[in-house]
Amino acid sequence: GAGVSQTPSNKVTEKGKYVELRCDPISGHTALYWYRQSLGQGPEFLIYFQGTGAADDSGLPNDRFFAVRPEGSVSTLKIQRTERGDSAVYLCASSLGEVGNEQFFGPGTRLTVL
């Protein structure tokens, strides 16, 4: 079946603008994760959802970042008042609902803030 998809694949924006990044998980996966990966680093945990609720958002760097998953499937990561330091690849992953299950990653969205 289809894997995790993310749109857009690339996003260029100007400092101070608002952006939305979308993730479509694998059908039936109740857990969904967002990560941020900067050059030369591993994925940095941002938030994960179990169903519709954000079960752990401790990785969100500040209140400019917000994510939703209103129907327990598609998720949107929202970044307000973007800063140049937000430039990174934003990865989404999904998994079945038990702790420790394999996470299936999407291709990522490369965000560039000018």
Using DSSP, state whether 25 is helix, strand or coil: coil
66-95 mask for other proteins (x: CB under 8 A)?
-------------------------x-x-x
Peptide bond just before 8 cis, omega within 30 deg: yes
Interface mask toward other proteins for 14-53; x: CB under 8 A: -----------------x-x-x----xxxxxx--x-x---
Residue 50: CB minimum distance to other proteins, A: 7
Region of 8-16, 62-70, 75-83, 104-112 interacting with other proteins (CB under 8 A): 104-112
Rounded CA separation 2/108 (Å): 15
Residue position matching structure tokens 């209103």: 70
Residues 111 and 21 sit within 8 Å (Cβ to Cβ): yes
Of 38, 34, 76, the C-alpha closest to 55 is 34
Interface with other proteins (CB under 8 A): 3-4, 31, 33, 35, 40-45, 48, 50, 55-56, 58-59, 91, 93, 95, 99-100, 102-108
